[in-house]
Amino acid sequence: MIFGELPLAEAEGAILAHSVKHEGGMFKKGRMLTADDIAILKASGIAHVFAAKLGPDDVPEDEAAAAVAQRIGAEGTKTQAPFTGRANLHAACHGLALVDVERVRALNRLHESLTLATVQPFAIVEEREMVATVKVIPFAVPRDVLARAQAIIGSEPLVRVAAFRDRRAGLVITKLPQTKPTIVAKSEDAMRERIGALGGTLAAVRVVEHEIVPVATAIAEMQALNCDPILVFGASAITDRGDVIPMAVTKAGGHVLHLGMPVDPGNLMMFGALGDVPVIGVPSCARSPKLNGFDWVLARVMAGVKVTAEDIMDMGAGGLLAEIPTRPSPREGKPKPQRAPRVAAVVLAAGQSSRMGSNKLLADVNGQPVIRRTVAAMRQAADLTVVVTGRDAAEIGRALEGLPVSLVHNPHFADGMSTSLRAGIEALPPDTDVAVIALGDMPLVSPDAVRRLIAAYSPAEHRSIAVPVFKGERGNPVLWGRQHFEALMGMTGDRGARALFDQLADEIVEVTMPDDAVLVDADTPEALAALRGR
């Protein structure tokens, strides 16, 4: 191909690289000049044009684009006629885009003149949605390049759309004695919505005890009802192949292909099979409409695409998911990548110490006041620390001299702990993601304990309240996500934040601690003496 500024005498049959004005109008970029065109340009006083003149070894852009596009697409796609070197493929159905990534790469590495772009592999596409586009860059493709491209494609297409089938899915929901009906209902609603969005029907639902035999019986019943796939939404996360749900699959006559996945959220998914029917242990994060690893697997299953253990293990690249709403829910704003939360520690130091006789927070423990030890530990783990004062505010301030913390005085401290909670939350910056509510008289709580709570926080997986636990007993401090700040500020009387636990049980995650520091305070003279002893 000859490309450049050509004299009109050599321009017949050339393709304009730039639009050219003439007396009667304009010849636009991409026009192949005829003898009549040359005459018009010459009459307009134009002597040269920027153009491309193809040789015998060049394949014109539209011809080349069509030759590639017609061969790369398969079932579920429709090829659009080429124009200006571009030929698009569209989905012929609602389904899952399947892309041969390695051969797409090989084709694109052939030569700069020929490009192929596709949607992300396994993207969910709607009918008529573009799934691939072939674009020839410089007006033509060398004939040998096109031949090599066709050899790469061969007889196997590079892009196809597997249609979602009208599958009858079955759902087994397990429950524990403490499982609330709202959790069961939320689990069913989430699965019904997901299955429906992928063209299927949630045909049967069974709610059983979180035990091996009842779950196995329910799975077998789903198989008898010709449900495919079978979903098992547990009341407790699957943590081992010996756990209830994997063992139930085995007892029902199936087997577990893979436990866990390198996708977050969604790590604790189980994938198994009962004969040819997929059995999926659903991770708890799937109660939320947000995208998680289970969605990736479910979409493949609903499109009839075989899923192997290797497929799941290969999902790690790109498996750290942005916190965005996913189909079938409407998108709400721009996708937001996961990020570390901005953490504030709110230390309540306004109490009256009525059981001590003197202010326990100012008591000495091995050379330092109780409140200083507590605050020093909090600020090592948090981005900022707010200390709410009440009684002996000036003395508390002196005890904390030199520590970079914010002091907020609560003049209504005598009206109860709720007033201090409100004062502390109101003092937080607007970009605060979580607040760790700490009691000033718990100096044994370590920065590592607070970091454990922060690590457990994941609003996408309904872990927006993190509670420390030692040997089954809940302690302090407690981490609260921003979505709960309004409720915290609405508390009244001498009630702490724990009063909200019952109504927000779905959002609580218990975080096991290695020692009892989260249970130990200095509330009485005896407790203070024990602290000093430790």
**Contact criterion met (CB below 8 Å) for 439 and 475:** no
pLDDT of res. 355: 57
Which of 163, 193, 217 is where one domain is finished?
163
- How many other CB atoms sit within 10 Å of the CB of residue 107? 22
Residues 299 and 428 in one domain: no
Check whether residue 259 and residue 372 sit in a common domain. Answer: no
Give yes or no: residues 287 and 183 share one domain.
yes
**306-329 mean pLDDT:** 79
In order, the DSSP letters of 156-180 are S-SEEEEEPP--EEEEEEEE-TT--
Digit-coded pLDDT (tens) for 196-219: 999 999 999 999 999 999 999 999
Distances (CA, A) of 165 to 37, 129, 236: 55, 18, 30
Does any domain span residue 323? no
Identify the CATH number of the domain in which residue 35 sits: 3.90.105.10
pLDDT of residue 325 exceeding 50: no
pLDDT digits (tens, 9 = 90+) for 452-497: 898 888 888 788 999 998 887 899 999 999 999 999 998 887 777 8
List C-alpha distances in Å: 414 to 39, 371, 525. 98, 19, 21
Task: Tell me: do 385 and 406 sit in the same domain.
Answer: yes
Encode burial over 29-58: b for 16+ CB neighbours within 10 A, e otherwise.
ebbbbeeebbebbeeeebeebbbbbbeeeb
The tens digit of pLDDT for each residue in 151-177 reads: 999 999 999 999 998 999 999 999 999
pLDDT of residue 329 exceeding 60: no
Pair 406, 525 in one domain: yes
Residue 322 belongs to some domain of the structure: no
* Helix, strand, coil shares, percent, the chain, to 5: 35, 30, 40
Per-residue pLDDT at 226: 97
How many folded domains does the chain comprise?
A: 4
Report pLDDT for 348.
94
Structure token digits, residue 345: 């520690």
Is 347 in the same domain as 282? Answer: no
Mark which of 163, 184, 215 sits at the end of a domain: 163
CA distance 416 to 401: 26
One domain for residues 178 and 281:
yes
Cα angle 503, 508, 512; round to 5:
140
CA atoms within 13 A on the CB side of 89: 32
Q: Enumerate residues 6+ apart whose C-beta is below 8 A from 105.
A: none
Range(s) of the domain holding residue 361: 343-533
pLDDT band, residue 446 (cuts 50/70/90): very high
Task: Assign 30 to helix, strand or coil.
Answer: coil
**Where residue 88 falls among pLDDT bands split at 50, 70, 90?**
confident
CB contact at 8 A, 371 and 398: no
pLDDT exceeds 50 at position 328: no
Confidence band for 119, pLDDT divided at 50, 70 and 90:
very high
Collapsed DSSP state (helix, strand, coil) of residue 5: strand
Same domain, 185 and 312: yes
β-sheet bridge partners, residue 256: 272
Residues 12 and 76 placed together within one structural domain of the fold:
no
Are residues 371 and 288 located together in one domain of the fold? Answer: no
Shared domain for 215 and 272, answered yes or no, is yes
Q: Inform me whether the pLDDT recorded for 331 exceeds 60.
A: no
Judgement on whether residues 27 and 67 belong to the same structural domain of the protein: no
Q: Is residue 325 part of a domain?
A: no
395: tokens are: 């003395």
